[in-house]
Structure 1
């Protein structure tokens, strides 16, 4: 790679580190090409991205970003998984590491917060932003639904009482 290519790679990585919600760093030594393709597909499906970058270029790109704390993790054959959703990349990485012991999660960063391997695993157990939004909407809608049921309940009971009297009157 020539200097211009390296400069472009560093700029692209710097933009990623600046704009991403979470970055996970893992060793991938021993993964087959098919395994890497499977991991990339799973990440893409979840809204995350996997990138294998030269460690020296990634360290240069980390300068001046919130996730600069991951610089010490960049040793050996490492891959970077990142997403805007703070849960997507860790969730897929942890699930893939459970099935494939060749992927070893080293740690990561969520904004300025550095995460070790256990921190990434804890983050993976949390619900995603979409799940949290759905729960919040459900909680907001629940009182309105209950209120509507309470408002309609007396009228429904009254209609049943009239219906019962009408049936009694017909039977007599």
Structure 2
């Protein structure tokens, strides 16, 4: 489903808000993960204070432009999940722990406050 311009602007502003509050961003490729496993990952992330989103890469690049997370823009290709956390290590810990038990989740990049 395609988003119209106002919906895209809303997504960009929401993600920009997450990026300004967050200390950490972790990007991981989720190709081949089942819906049940993705739901499990979202539940774990939510309980640890991590915002986990599947976004259009172009919108994510625009949202992090000018922030400390712009350094990972070149890695934003393919099917990705974006994990933001205000805790310095929560996003990295949640994604890394899940990747240990699910080989289909591949960590692509991460940034800590730029």
For normalisation by structure 1, the TM-score amounts to 0.64
Q: Which runs of 5+ in 1 are unaligned?
A: 113-172
Deviation at 1:15, TM superposition (A): 1.1
Selected match of 2:111 from 72, 87, 109 = 109
- Indicate the structure with greater helix content: 1
Is 1:11 the counterpart of 2:29? The answer is no
Between the aligned partners of 1:70 and 1:46, the Cα distance in structure 2 is 23
Query: What's the C-alpha RMSD, in Å, of the aligned pairs?
Result: 0.7
- Indicate the structure with greater strand content: 2
Between the aligned partners of 1:10 and 1:49, the Cα distance in structure 2 is 15
Selected match of 2:44 from 22, 27, 42 = 42
Structure 2 equivalent of residue 128 of structure 1: none
Instruction: State the SS of the aligned residue for 2:68.
Output: coil
Runs of 4+ aligned structure 1 residues displaced above 3 Å come to none
Is 1:84 the counterpart of 2:79? The answer is no
Deviation at 1:16, TM superposition (A): 1.0
Structure 2 equivalent of residue 2 of structure 1: 4
Structure 1 equivalent of residue 96 of structure 2: 94
For normalisation by structure 2, the TM-score amounts to 0.95
Higher relative contact order (CA 8 A, sep 6+): 2
Between the aligned partners of 1:63 and 1:109, the Cα distance in structure 2 is 14
User: Rg bigger for which structure?
Assistant: 1
Between the aligned partners of 1:14 and 1:91, the Cα distance in structure 2 is 22
Selected match of 1:58 from 54, 57, 60 = 60
Selected match of 1:68 from 59, 67, 70 = 70
Instruction: State the SS of the aligned residue for 2:25.
Output: strand
